[in-house]
């Protein structure tokens, strides 16, 4: 049996691959790359920033609470300071007055840092898209976004799925310089 989600295989949910590998081979020594170890560690302890502007924040709280329990995915400790956080879940509308604050929060976070845009407002401006003078139409105008979660507000399950997608993304990272970094250095 397994969780059935279209476009995501059950094997992708197995986050502790090294243990499974041990079980399969029966050995006691395992060779791996530094990349794999670091990515495994990073992807399984993502600390989010306590950042919520509106309704989606309540669903984020519900995800962290008893029933849905964020902690199963290692996204456990809500940090109040951006300097200790790995991921910023932009939960709620970002209006023009808030945008510089969000940018500063993002800049204060230490690398590696990730952004999840949670809810219709953070993705595109949501219900406040038309006939308005105040809303940032999508938080990606201000900071780069890794995962988009649609919904108004998204269900806690949707947020969990989004976090899993982020974990998959982290697992593909390398500590070597990426092409993007090289470009930045050359400039």
Partner 1 sequence: MKEVVNLPVDSIEREEYHINMGPQHPSTHGVLRLVVTLQGEIVKKVQPHCGYIHRGIEKMCEKDTYQQIIHLTDRMDYLSAHINNHAVCLLVEGALQVEVPERVVYIRTILDELNRIASHQLWWSSFGMDLGGLTCFFYGLRDREKILDIFEESFGSRLLHSYYLPGGLMQDIHPNFQNRVKEFIKYNRRKIKDYDRILSGNIIFLERSQDVGVMSKELAINYGVNGPSGRGSGWACDIRKKYPYAAYEKVEFNEVLRTEGDTYARYMVRMQEIRESMNIIEQLIDNIPEGDFSVKMKPIIKLPAGEYYQRVESARGELGVYCISDGNKTPFRMKFRTPSFVNLGVLDTISREMKIADLVAIGASLDLVIPDIDR
Residues of this chain that interact with partner 1 (CB under 8 A) are 50-55, 57-59, 61-62, 65-67, 78, 80, 82, 92-93, 95, 97-98, 101, 105, 127-128, 130-135, 152-153, 155
109 or 164: CB nearest partner 1: 109
8 or 55: CB nearest partner 1: 55
CB of 185 to partner 1, least distance (A): 31
The angle formed by the CA atoms of residues 148, 138 and 52, to the nearest 5 degrees, is 70
DSSP string, 119-171: HHHHHH-GGGSTT-SSB-SSGGGTS--SEEE-SSSPPHHHHHHHHHHHHHHHH
CB 149 within 8 A of CB 169: no
Structure token digits, residue 176? 């070597």
Question: How many Å apart are CA 51 and CA 91, to the nearest integer?
Answer: 7
98 or 123: CB nearest partner 1: 98
34 or 58: CB nearest partner 1: 58
CB of 129 to partner 1, least distance (A): 10
CB of 116 to partner 1, least distance (A): 16
CB of 101 to partner 1, least distance (A): 6
Neighbours of 12 (CB within 10 A): 15
CB 18 within 8 A of CB 39: no
121 or 163: CB nearest partner 1: 121
CB of 76 to partner 1, least distance (A): 13
Neighbours of 34 (CB within 10 A): 10
């Amino acid at each position: 049996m397994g969780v059935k989600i279209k476009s995501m295989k059950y094997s992708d949910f197995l986050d502790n691959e090294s243990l499974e590998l041990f079980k399969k081979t029966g050995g006691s020594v395992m060779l791996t790359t530094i990349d794999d170890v670091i990515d495994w560690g990073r992807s399984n302890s993502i600390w989010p920033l306590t950042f919520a502007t509106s309704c989606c924040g309540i669903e984020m709280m519900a995800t962290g609470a008893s029933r849905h329990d964020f902690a199963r995915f290692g996204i456990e400790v809500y940090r109040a300071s951006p300097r200790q956080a790995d991921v910023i879940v932009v939960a709620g509308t970002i209006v023009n007055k808030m945008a510089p604050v969000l940018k500063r929060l993002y800049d204060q976070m230490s690398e590696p840092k990730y952004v999840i845009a949670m809810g219709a407002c953070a993705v595109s401006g949501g219900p406040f898209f038309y006939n308005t003078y105040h809303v940032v139409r999508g938080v990606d105008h201000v900071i780069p976004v890794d995962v988009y979660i649609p919904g108004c507000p998204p269900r806690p399950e949707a947020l969990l799925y989004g976090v899993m997608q982020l974990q998959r993304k982290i697992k593909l990272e390398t500590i070597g310089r990426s092409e993007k970094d090289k470009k930045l250095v050359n400039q």
